[in-house]
């Protein structure tokens, strides 16, 4: 999930709509709402956040260091001011990157992936047996051949791969794919997505690479 912080509801709604078209869950906050949320949110909710985008905030109330005290997710500033002084101020405040607007949503996602990759000292894909699972929106490959997947199934596979070897609950998967504030979709939809994903992977691999345990969740078999 991507969290966008900006005083202008039109801006947060616009970014949420664009992220949704890319199959990425998101949530928008005004700065004071965000300050209350990030201070009190459960650790499980914060683990679902892929990055924070900080835009126009009243009195510059958002502290990147406060965010980093709760989570290691990248903090990126969206800047309307094309000046060296402003950019340096943002970096000094503790952001991981500064993006000048206007910017295409895919560039934002690429920058997030790059920051997370550098932090993890990893490549932009995870190799699990015959599967190569990319973290930049590309379809996975099995034995070198692309496996086209609907965006939700692809995001679930990416999330399982990013937690390779660890079990994640249905709630964690739902929060990562749909966001923690989506009241219009039932959490049980994850079971349907995973069932379809498992069938496709089983057809290509000859075995089911997703291990599931009732009440405990899912993990990729490494």
At 141 the three-state DSSP class reads: strand
116, 133: one domain: no
Residues 80 and 164 in one domain: no
Whether residues 6 and 113 fall in one domain: yes
Burial (CB < 10 A; 0-12, 13-18, 19+), residue 115, is middle
User: Mean pLDDT across the stretch 110-121?
Assistant: 79
Calpha distance 112→115 (Å, rounded): 5
- Domain hosting 186: range is 125-220
Number of domains in the chain: 2
Using one digit for the tens of pLDDT, what is the confidence trace for 187-198?
Answer: 899 999 999 999
Verify that 65 and 135 share a domain, yes or no.
no
The SS3 assignment for 125 reads: strand
CA–CA distance, 74 with 64 (Å, rounded to integer) = 9
Q: Which of 12-26, 30-44, 112-126, 193-207 has the lowest mean pLDDT?
A: 112-126
Pairing state between β 75-79 and 51-54: parallel
Query: Considering only CA atoms, which of 23, 53, 29 is closest in space to residue 41?
Result: 29
Q: Indicate whether 112 and 135 sit together in one domain.
A: no
Position 174 pLDDT exceeds 80:
yes
- Statement: the pTM of the whole predicted model exceeds 0.85: no
- Which of 75, 95, 120 is at the close of a domain? 120
Question: Are 90 and 171 members of one domain?
Answer: no
The answer to whether residues 94 and 148 belong to one domain is: no
pLDDT tens profile 61-111: 677 877 877 888 999 999 887 788 888 888 888 899 999 988 999 999 999
CATH of the domain at 165: 1.10.10.10
């Amino acid at each position: 999930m991507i969290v966008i912080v900006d005083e202008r509801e039109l801006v947060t709604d616009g970014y949420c709509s664009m992220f949704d078209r890319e199959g990425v869950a998101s949530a928008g906050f005004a700065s004071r709402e965000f300050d209350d949320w990030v201070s009190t949110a459960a650790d499980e909710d914060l683990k679902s956040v892929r990055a924070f985008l900080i835009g126009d905030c009243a009195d510059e109330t958002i502290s990147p260091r406060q965010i980093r005290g709760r989570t290691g997710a990248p903090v990126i500033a969206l800047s309307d001011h094309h000046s060296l002084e402003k950019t340096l101020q943002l970096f000094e405040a503790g952001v991981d990157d500064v993006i000048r607007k206007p910017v295409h949503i895919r560039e934002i996602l690429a920058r997030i992936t790059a920051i997370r990759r550098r932090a993890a000292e990893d490549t932009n894909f995870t190799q699990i047996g015959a599967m190569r699972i990319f973290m930049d929106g590309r379809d996975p490959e099995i034995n070198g051949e692309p496996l086209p997947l609907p965006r939700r199934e692809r995001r679930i596979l990416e999330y399982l791969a990013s937690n390779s070897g660890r079990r994640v609950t249905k709630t964690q998967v739902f929060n990562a794919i749909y966001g923690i504030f989506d009241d219009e979709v039932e959490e049980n939809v994850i079971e349907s997505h995973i069932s379809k994903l498992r069938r496709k992977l089983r057809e290509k691999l000859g075995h089911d690479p997703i291990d599931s345990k009732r009440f405990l969740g899912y993990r990729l078999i490494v």
